[in-house]
Amino acid sequence: MPQPRFRTALIAGASAGLGAEFARQLAAAGTGLVLVARRLDRLEELAAELRSRYGIAVHAVQADLSTEAGLSAVEAQVTENNSLDLLINNAGFGGKTGFVRGEEADHLEMVRVHVDSTVRLTKAALPGMIGRGRGAVINVASVAAFSPFSGAMYSGTKAFLVMFSQNLQAEVKAKGISVQALCPGMTHTEFHEVAAIDKAIVPKPFWMTAEKVVRISLRKLGRGAVCVSGWKNKAIAFLMRCPATAAGVRAAGRSAAARRKAGEN
């Protein structure tokens, strides 16, 4: 049997969606797992499935990364794990209202989960990875990082993850560490139901499965700091950033209809 590419991966936000799919694909490759999420029942169910199917070590950690206690507990898991060579910062959620109408506490919680937890867990993981001369960090961002109408907080925090990943990769590449900002588009998970976004507004051809997004991410890891999954999402990201088309996209994004469809109002 070939050796797995990674010995141990810690996945934040592992109880559903992309996090659970990362767990399944890594487990199939023989990678030991530390699964982190708020919902212990889901974590334990997933952990039992993966242990039974693949015979790997799986440790479930219940933690709320929006709290100091939860984040500190996961930091300790990262620091104390001598075999951790892959960190996946996938914890996150979408906003249900715009910045003005939304509650300040909700906005700050998004910063804690998307930004603070990513920074602190990455900071905790890097010394061990650098000491061993190998490792990788995947920060799950979004094509919303390039969007002018996906919500000030959601797009803003995801844009941070992209720039953070690009700059960090430049800093640690020579030390044997790969950093990736994964930017999926519309993906079939429960994310949109939780965020109260109507999935029917996006045509079916623009949707991707979690299985495909994760497979692209793992295949592209180490081949560039930004991974936009799928050619359609690449085209969308290009149009939102290209000087010739960005003005039109921004104008469309200012319309109330576009903002309602994006779930901002």
Residue 35 has φ and ψ, to the nearest 5°, of -105, 130
Asked if 199 is an active-site residue, the reply is: no
- Cβ atoms of 204 and 215 within 8 Å: the answer is no
Burial of 100 (0-12, 13-18, 19+ CB in 10 A): exposed
Catalytic residue, chosen from 54, 96, 123, 154, is: 154
DSSP line for 214-259: HHHHHHHTTS-SEEE-SHHHHHHHHHHH-HHHHHHHHHHHTSHHHH
What amino acid is encoded at 190 in this protein?
Answer: E
Asked if 234 is an active-site residue, the reply is: no
Q: Report the C-alpha gap between 26 and 138 in whole angstroms.
A: 13
Catalytic residue, chosen from 158, 173, 204, 212, is: 158
Q: Report the C-alpha gap between 17 and 15 in whole angstroms.
A: 7
Rg over CA atoms, the chain: 18
Classify residue 197 by its DSSP letter.
Answer: -
Q: Report the C-alpha gap between 252 and 67 in whole angstroms.
A: 37
Q: Report the C-alpha gap between 1 and 252 in whole angstroms.
A: 53
- Active-site residues, by number, are 154, 158
